[in-house]
Copies of this chain bind each other. A is one copy, B any other.
Amino acid sequence: MAWRSDEVSIEKITERAFDLTVNGQNVPGVYWRPKSGNANRIALLGHGGSTHKKVEYVQLVATLLAQRGIASMAIDGPGHGERASGSEVRSTEGFSDIWNAGGGTQGIVADWHAALNFIEAEEGVRPACWWGLSMGTMMGLPVTASDTRIRVALLGLMGIWGPNGDDLKRLAPEVLCPVRFLVQWDDEIVPREACLELYDALGSEKKTLHANPGIHTAVPQTEIAGSVEYLDRYLK
């Protein structure tokens, strides 16, 4: 459990890598904070499948959050980014294999739990939120359901579907914090109906669904900006 290096400055935010060992596996992570002012809140950013902790849109969200005084952190999911072993992530079967090799839903919850513990120990305890779509929801819904430190979540592009569909179905009623849930109406990967069912299953009293036309990856920029505004509004 250690910082990997000193901070690096990127425009108005600083970035610092860290490494954890969780259940015998290396879990590399990154922490971003606004360069000026105190970041008294933090967001956990879950990347999508076939990408990694520093994929472009995760960095964009981290930057937008930093502008509102919110720090961010991200880790690589199993078999992704620096945890990739060269096996094929893009096939459904390959994805399922690496997901399970990482310990499945229980494993990823342990990874994020350890990562938030590390950041809290280093940087202090702050109100936390989740932002993650697609695989970012496969990870984030179980984390949100099981870690009461998460007070509001941006989820979506996922349904009762895929390698941990049964876990998502079981855990969704245990999500009780406010949730905004994004659906791509013409999602060619996760069927629309499966997404609507997952939204339906969420236990949160305050949950709002935003759907837009287009394929899985075609989330409108206004929704990304709006998602950050949403987290900012509810994260107290």
Contact = CB atoms under 8 A, between A and B. Distances in A.
Interface of A: 183, 185, 196, 199-200, 205, 207-213, 220, 223
A160 to B, nearest CB: 16
Nearest to A202: B213
A199 B205 CA distance: 24
A211 B199 CA distance: 10
A205 B209 contact: no
A211 B209 contact: yes
Contacts of A207: 212-213
A200 B183 CA distance: 13
Number of copies: 2
Given A207-B213, A208-B223, A209-B209, 16 more contacts: A183-B209, A185-B200, A185-B209, A196-B196, A199-B211, A205-B213, A207-B212, A208-B210, A208-B211, A208-B212, A208-B220, A209-B210, A209-B211, A209-B212, A210-B210, A211-B211
Contacts of A213: 205, 207
19 contacts: A183-B209, A185-B200, A185-B209, A196-B196, A199-B211, A205-B213, A207-B212, A207-B213, A208-B210, A208-B211, A208-B212, A208-B220, A208-B223, A209-B209, A209-B210, A209-B211, A209-B212, A210-B210, A211-B211
A220 B180 CA distance: 14
A210 B211 CA distance: 7
A196 B209 CA distance: 12
Nearest to A193: B196
A213 B200 CA distance: 9
Contacts of A196: 196
Nearest to A212: B208
Nearest to A205: B213
